[in-house]
Every structure is written in C-alpha cells, then in structure tokens.
Amino acid sequence: MRKIVTILFLLLCSASAMAQNIAIGERTPKIKHRNLLEGAEAQEADFTYIGFVHSASAPCIESLEELAKIAGETGAFRITIFTKERASAQTAGTLGRYANGKVSEVHTSSGEVFKRFGVNYAPFGVIIDSRRRALWFGNPKSLDRNKIIEIIENHTTICRSRK
C-alpha cells in the first residue's frame, strides 16, 4: 500500500512539473500554426493575448467576450485564439465573430500549439509583448480591464525583474 501511495504521489508531481512551459519575462514558444478560421489575420499590435479555448465551453466564451470588448475599446492588444477543434459549423458559429481580422483571429486544429505551451485545460491565456515575452498567464476569468492595463503599462518592469 505504501508503494502505491508513493508511486501515485510521484506521478502527480511529475505531471504538474510538465504542465507548464511558460515563465514570466521569458520568451514563449514560436507559433508557426496558420490554420485561420475565416482566413483573417489580426492587425499587428505591441501586445497580444493568446487564448486557448473550446467552443462548447461557457467559461471560454464568456472570457473571450470580455477580452474582445476590452481589446476593442482600448486598442491596447490583439487577441489570437487557439482551439484544438477542427473548423466546423459549431466552431465557426461560436468563434467566427472573433475572426474579424481587426482585433482578433482564430486558429483551429491547434493541438500542437497547446502542446508547445504546455496547456492542458481551457480557458487559458497568455499576454505577451512584441518580443514574445510572457507578461501574464493563467485563467482569463481573473483578468479585467484594470489588470490588463496594469500589465501592459508595467511590461518593462515585469521583464526587467527577470534579468
């Protein structure tokens, strides 16, 4: 019994150690995936929110709606959305409004991007600067307008503190 508990504990520790490939101030993995829903690329911006979602998840859609609203109002960042789902009528219907090419874009069939970032659950998000340095990551439900503005305004301090 003791061996089983020890083995389970070690498995849980190793699973959590591999669950994240992101560190604040460090560069995030390059994204070469280009399977755009509706084919519209978002305009360039100094900051990008990278969102990992599932179109059938209410928390994912709620957080996207809030972030898209903030991005549209402030113009401070663009949104890049990744989903493991293939492009379908459901995906297009739910996520299609975020594939507008102005503020946001949606990439489908993005399982490889999920792996490269070490993302195992959705919703999950990362805010990066133009050099791909992570400024924030976690559950987007914890973000609001003030928090995003604070992260963006303090990005040099966040990255400098990692040196």
Distance from the first to the final alpha carbon of the chain: 46
Tell me what pLDDT residue 156 has: 78
Helix ranges restricted to H, 18-80:
58-74
C-beta of residue 123 within 8 angstroms of C-beta of residue 55: no
Tell me what pLDDT residue 56 has: 87
DSSP annotation of 96:
G
What letters, b where the CB count within 10 A reaches 16 and e where it falls short, cover 82-103?
A: bbbbebeeebbebbbebbbeeb
DSSP annotation of 36:
B
Segment 22-48 mean pLDDT: 82
Per-residue pLDDT tens for 71-95? 988 888 999 999 988 888 878 888 8
pTM value > 0.85: no
Residue 161 has pLDDT above 60, yes or no: no
- Pairwise CA distance, residues 62 & 130, whole Å: 26
Q: Which of 126, 32, 22 is nearest to 77 (CA)?
A: 126
